Amino acid sequence: MTGAGGMLGRAVVAAATRLGHDVRGVTRAQLDITLEVAVIVTMHEYRPDAVINCAAYTDVDGAETDRETAAAANALGAGYVAAAAAEVGASVVHVSTDYVFDGSKREPWLESDPTGPLGVYGLTKLAGEHAVADANPAHAIVRTAWLYGAGGRNFVDTMLALGAQREEVSVVTDQIGCPTWTGHLAGALVEVAQRPHETGIHHIAAAGSCSWNELAVEVFERARVDCRVLPATTADFLRPARRPAYSVLGTERADPIVLAPWREGLADYLATRVAA
């Protein structure tokens, strides 16, 4: 799998290993997926049965001024990985995002809903979806949302750090999504890789939904941090990239992979932090 050094990639390697698979994970230092020849050479060296692509440019705001770098990883690189996998007869599971949608709905987005990214990050991830689908017939594109976990910058850790320093924080109430722990998503990605016949798009995120504000409240309550969470709106924070107001993911698949509710994921993540 690619992106093995990242927040999600680490969790996938751990999950696949725990489930008894022979896992070969490569970090960005070992394989830059934007280098086509390197991807081909690596794929022919390992000759996997399935590839889970967790490598990505994930800086949503940074992508607005660094479109070329974002597109190289999220679109071109994704296509290189899928094509090289096809050369050796491997299926590919590609991780995408809820940010391919414009947030205009008020009910969960389904796999067949029209896309409409609001920013460069979402545009490059959508381009990556198309590149993967075009390059490898045995593909699964997994859209997920609001990831957090060990080994990378994320909202939960940011709130815990701020809560230790401040008496109150302001968090937006007008962005709604599905906070998803990498520890739960990782196992689902491995399961998707074990279903190579189920090609196409999958929506897999924590069950239920909340605002960033509600998530912050839950983080502090569960971690017993004495910090007030004040309501704010997106307009109160000037950010380079626009975010979808409502990006809750639903599914229309007959046999979907369903994750635990987001509160359970948060509880499990906080428990692993305490254990660590």
7-153+178-207+248-261 CATH fold: Rossmann fold (3.40.50)
Q: What is the mean pLDDT of residues 84-100?
A: 98
Q: Is the dihedral of CA 52, 53, 59, 63 positive or negative?
A: negative
Q: How many CB atoms lie within 10 A of CB 95?
A: 27
Predicted confidence (pLDDT) at residue 107 exceeds the cutoff of 90 = yes
Q: What are phi and psi of 120, to 5 degrees?
A: -65, -40
Using one digit for the tens of pLDDT, what is the confidence trace for 56-66? 999 999 999 99
Q: 112 falls in which pLDDT band (50, 70, 90)?
A: very high
Task: Find the catalytic residue in 80, 121, 246, 269.
Answer: 121
Residue 42 banded pLDDT, cuts 50, 70, 90: very high
158 close to 192: Cβ distance less than 8 angstroms? no
**pLDDT for res 276:** 74
- Is there a contact between 248 and 177 (Cβ–Cβ < 8 Å)? yes
- Say whether 80 is catalytic: no
Per residue in 178-230, pLDDT tens? 999 999 999 999 999 999 999 999 999 999 999 999 999 999 999 999 999 99
Query: Is pTM beyond 0.85 here?
Result: yes
Please write down the long-range contacts of 133-138, taking CB distance under 8 Å and 24 or more positions apart: 134/79, 135/79, 135/82, 135/83, 135/86, 136/82, 136/83, 136/85, 136/86, 136/91, 136/92, 137/86, 137/199, 138/86, 138/90, 138/91, 138/92, 138/196, 138/199
| CB contact at 8 A, 124 and 115 | no
CB atoms within 10 A of CB 7: 18
- At residue 274 the predicted structure's pLDDT band, cuts being 50, 70 and 90, is confident
pLDDT band at 267 (very low <50, low <70, confident <90, very high): very high
